[in-house]
Structure 1
Amino acid sequence: MIIRLKGIEKKYGNVQAVKPIDLTIEENFVTILGQSGCGKTTLLKMLAGLTEPTAGEIFFDDQLIFSKTKGINVKPNKREIAMVFQDFGLWPHMTVFENVAFGLRGKVSKAKRTNIVHEALKKVKLETKAAMRPGELSGGQQQRVALARAIAINPKLILFDEALSALDAVLREEMREEILTIVQSIGSQAIFVTHDQTEAMAMSDSMIIMDTGEVVQTGSPETIYHTPANPFVANFIGKTNWIKDKEMMIRPEHVHLYPDSDTTYRTGVIQKSMYEGDRYVIFVETDGQIWKFYDQHPHEKGASITFYMKENTIHSLIKQEAY
């Protein structure tokens, strides 16, 4: 499905939560990434029909589902979407089976509903938990129930609102792999809101970066990481070393300890080494700034060091624009 937003915005009184956006979304798995309060959840809820835009139009393929000027606002249950919330949104008095079946009421026969629910629970590996209630499940299992409920209605689009933020780090990584696998297996499109850069980079076909109500850059994870449009994106996605007062930047992995062809160099003093499991992040003070690079071994604090970088790995932000 191709989703098109034309001039979509949201105001709450005098507060501009989302500034006018023109955007086309057509990739299978898209993340909306930004800091808290940047407008990403508001944008997601406008797509879902849970928040009415102040102005603009939204198209799902050729269907106009919202237009302020034309008075069109298709109801959420008519948009062929499902939503997975941060707090799971499960009914505590219902069994797992009843929670998953809830969205199917009145749409399919009881017999067919039973088959659909069992199939959805099988996909999320919870077929043995159908008779239990949410309070008897772990956080990860509750998240799987929420996902099963979403896929049971066979949506064209699944919207995830910070869906993994309530889980611990190990479970988050496990669930992101499962979500990707399940979404791909049912052929749905997904838009995933998060403030976690690692999560967004790992899951996305395409990313939408937001800052203070604006879309500041869109593109593949690789494009955004290697060619950020502005200093905010560069700092928000990964670690950054700045050259010439944030006019140019280089990522730590492109800083080396040995010269090569077409390299430039800098000298500095080691400030600290930080262990990350598979490598160390080395912090160096050079020209009054702290630079970072990676090595397999720690370096002694206070030691002098010379490091090198290739010109073609330095990215210029001059005249870069969001796209």
Structure 2
Amino acid sequence: MLEVKNLTKYYGDLLAVDELSFRIEEGQFATLLGPSGCGKSTTLHVIAGLIDATSGSVHLRGKEVSDVPPYERNIGLVFQHSALFPHMTVEENLRYGLKMQDFDGDHDRQIEKYLEMVQMLEHADHKPDELSGGQQRRISFARALVYEPDILLLDEPLTGLDRVLREDMRNEIRSIQQEVDVTTLHVTHDQSEALSMSDQVIVMNEGRKEQEGHPTELYEQPKTEFVAEFLGQSTKFEGELVDANTPVIRSGSREIHIETNGDTEAVAGDDISTYIRPEEIDVHPTPQANGDTNTFSGRITDVEYLGHRAELEIELDDGTKVIAFSQTSDDLSVGKEVSVQFDPDKVICV
């Protein structure tokens, strides 16, 4: 449905997007994920035709559209803010979109269908300023979908909503996308949004693609340090590969045992960065023997109770900070001596 080839965008001397390429199959929900200023919104706006690329091309359904004006690309676009016409009612906002896209079908039936889909049919005669922020977002989605675009572009559409509403809208967007079966490209800096909503995630950093793939693949098998650190929390150990056959990494005075299954090109003496996700670390309320595999003593320096779990910060003997999750905070208080343990096959190596 969508293919971006070697997309590059300069703003004067500033390189915003650097030789970016990716493709999205029909019906997929894909996300451009990265920190602010990484080029993801610029990429979306080039795809929409709102700005011109310096070089590279955009293809929809196999046809290059780089020189096609936005209104001829049959793209639905939802911005960070609702961008509804304030002087029009909800119904008039949708009808205007149908008119501008020369939609051939029954306009009344189409408006009713999509307002019902976003649960806003009873608000058809309301003006935008009579609606809550969440309701305005629903209308924005209905307006972007009502003329049945080939692809839906979402530019951080949940910005500014409170946590509960963000989660509700996140689930609803995914449900509507699957019901309509519209190819969707979503832009966000929120890792939880990207991981929970997407079939495919393209991680961007400083205008470049770091890695792309299914959310599970990116979380469990990051290929770069940036992806490992940006997607979720983790504890990082840096060290030297002692033996590629064993394999063991020496990090300071400790040895980190890892499981590579032969899937590494590193050789003895190479510097390796390892990451352990907090959910993979077991915390024992009584210190264990440091001689056990990947078992280290430390002291709890912070406990954050989050309702469904406690998040612990543990300082090891050499000052290394470890982040771990626990289902209970009982007997795990600040200052307590504990030990942490993790299995070799749970260690991520980059």
Q: How does 1:1-323 map to 2 (within 5 A)?
A: 1=1, 3-26=2-25, 28-66=28-66, 73-105=67-99, 107-108=102-103, 112-244=106-238, 247-257=273-283, 263-286=293-316, 287-298=318-329, 299-317=332-350
Other-structure match for 2:250: none
Structure 1: 4+ residue segments shifted above 4 A: none
Aligned to 2:253: none
Q: Is the 8 A contact 2:4 2:23 kept in 1?
A: yes
Identity of aligned residues (%): 37
Tell me the distance in 1 between the aligned counterparts of 2:108 and 2:37.
Answer: 40
Letter of the structure 1 residue corresponding to residue 8 of structure 2? E
Residue deviations 1:178-237 (CA, integer Å, cap 9, x gap): 111111111101111111111111101111111111111111111111112222222211
The 1-side partners of 2:282 and 2:4 are apart by 44
TM-score of the aligned structures, taking structure 2 as reference length: 0.84
Q: Secondary structure at the match of 2:340?
A: strand
Give 3-state SS (helix, strand or coil) of 1:116's partner.
helix
Residues in 1 aligned to 2:95 and 2:13: alpha-carbon distance in whole angstroms:
41
Per the TM alignment, residue 166 of structure 1 is displaced from its structure 2 partner at its CA by: 2.0
Structure 1 partner of 2:247: none
Alpha-carbon separation, structure 1, partners of 2:276 and 2:124: 51
Which stretch shows the higher mean deviation, 285-294 or 239-248?
239-248
The equivalent residue for 2:264 is: none
What per-residue deviation string (whole Å, max 9, x for no partner) do you get for residues 272-308 of structure 1? Answer: 1111110101110112221011112221222211111
Checking the alignment, whether the CA contact within 8 Å between 2:41 and 2:187 is kept in structure 1 is: yes
Which protein shows a greater Rg? 2
Q: Secondary structure at the match of 1:288?
A: coil
- Aligned partners of 1:171, 1:17: CA distance in 2, in Å? 32
With structure 1 as the length reference, what TM-score do the two structures score?
Answer: 0.91
Instruction: Verify the 8 A CA contact 2:46 2:53 in the aligned structure 1.
Output: yes
**Matching residue's letter, 1:292:** I
Q: Alpha-carbon deviation of 1:108?
A: 4.0
Stretches of structure 1 that go unaligned for 5 or more consecutive residues are 67-72, 318-323
- Counterpart CA distance in 2 for 1:166 and 1:279 is 26
Rounded to whole Å, the distance in 1 between the matches of 2:65 and 2:115 is 31
Distance 2:161 2:279 in 1: 30
Q: Deviations over 1:242-277 (max 9, x none)?
A: 112571111111111368xx9421111110111111
CA distance in 2, matches of 1:165, 1:306: 40
Distance 2:312 2:192 in 1: 20
| Contact residue 4 and residue 58 of structure 2 kept, 8 A | yes
Answer whether contact 2:283 2:339 (CA < 8 A) is retained: yes
**CA offset at residue 156 of structure 1?**
1.4
Cα 1:244–1:101 change in 2 (3 A) is same
Counterpart Cα distance in 1 of 2:133 and 2:53: 33
Q: 1: distance between equivalents of 2:184 and 2:324?
A: 35
Q: 1:181 to 1:266 in 2, by over 3 A?
A: same
Q: In 1, distance between residues paired with 2:340 and 2:160?
A: 41
Structure 2: distance between partners of 1:247 and 1:123: 47
| Letter matched to residue 61 of structure 2 | D
> What one-letter code is carried by the residue in structure 2 that aligns with 1:251?
R
Cα deviation 1:135-163 (Å, max 9, x = unaligned): 00001110011011011010111000010
C-alpha distance in 1 between matches for 2:110 and 2:340? 59
**CA apart distance, 1:25:** 2.1
Q: Helix, strand or coil: the match of 1:166?
A: coil
Structure 2 equivalent of residue 320 of structure 1 = none
Alignment partners' CA distance in 2, 1:257 and 1:170: 30
Matched residue type, 1:309: F
C-alpha displacement at 1:62, in angstroms? Answer: 1.7
- Displacement after TM superposition at 1:53 (Å): 0.4
Secondary structure of 2:158's match? coil
Q: In structure 1, the residue corresponding to 2:186 is in which secondary structure?
A: strand
